[in-house]
Amino acid sequence: MGSGDVAFPRLGETKQRILALLRRRPRTIPELAAELGLSPNAVRLHLVALERDGLVAPHGWRPTVRRPAATYAPTSAADRLLPKPYAAVLSKLLQTIRDEHGSDKLAQLLRKIGEHLGREQTPRVAGLADRARVEAVAGVLTDLGGIVEVEEHDNGWLLVGYSCPLAAVAADHAEVCTLARVLIATLLGQDTVRECCERGGEPRCRFAIERTGTEQGARTG
């Protein structure tokens, strides 16, 4: 790809180049073929796959010598594939808060955010108990950008995340794990959540949830 192209993760190089060209302006199949050095049929096949995945769509028509040709443009879904500087911006924001107000204030603010997010999602766990409630909490975390699984143990459950959306900043700002812990505790309605995240080369979220006295008694009774 050229220095002015924009990378789209998870796509092959040709499809990335097509999307990069279409982001500049809508193009027809012959125009794409000429710029990519491919046959129109080859470009058409890539466009069919991109349209099937919801990443491009017909945009309009352009007059040609023979007959009007359809133009294509990227969809909003394609924009969401673009790499964004969220991690860098968030890291700078957290560091600025810590430098100006101290680590305690940073942790306090993140706890408030966790509580706010938890209250917003409380209807999703209402009326559920035991594992069903924990599974619902895992669903909330997954919808927020993680991939979270539930492991059940004698004394409770373990939420294990395999794709933490905050992993890029967790190594330098462990306080972000407090946000997640408070979010989970708010959803569960109990302060029996222990954060034991791994922040090494491959960060992994881990939150241990102890059974309440009632749950423990029902399990052993």
Q: Report the distance separating Cα 3 and Cα 8, nearest Å.
A: 14
Q: Report the CATH number at residue 53.
A: 1.10.10.10
**How many structural domains compose the chain?**
2
pLDDT at 62: 84
* Lowest mean per-residue pLDDT among 2-6, 98-102, 194-198, 206-210: 2-6
Q: Are residues 114 and 75 in the same domain?
A: no
pLDDT at 174: 85
Residue 2 lies in a domain: no
Closest by Cα among 186, 182, 185, 194 to 158: 194
Residue 55 lies in a domain: yes
DSSP assignment string, 40-66 = HHHHHHHHHHHHHTTSEEEEEEE--SS
- Give the domain extent around 68: 13-79
Mean pLDDT (the chain) is 85
Full-model pTM: 0.62
Average pLDDT over residues 63-68: 81
Identify the bridge partners of residue 107 per DSSP, sorted by sequence position: none
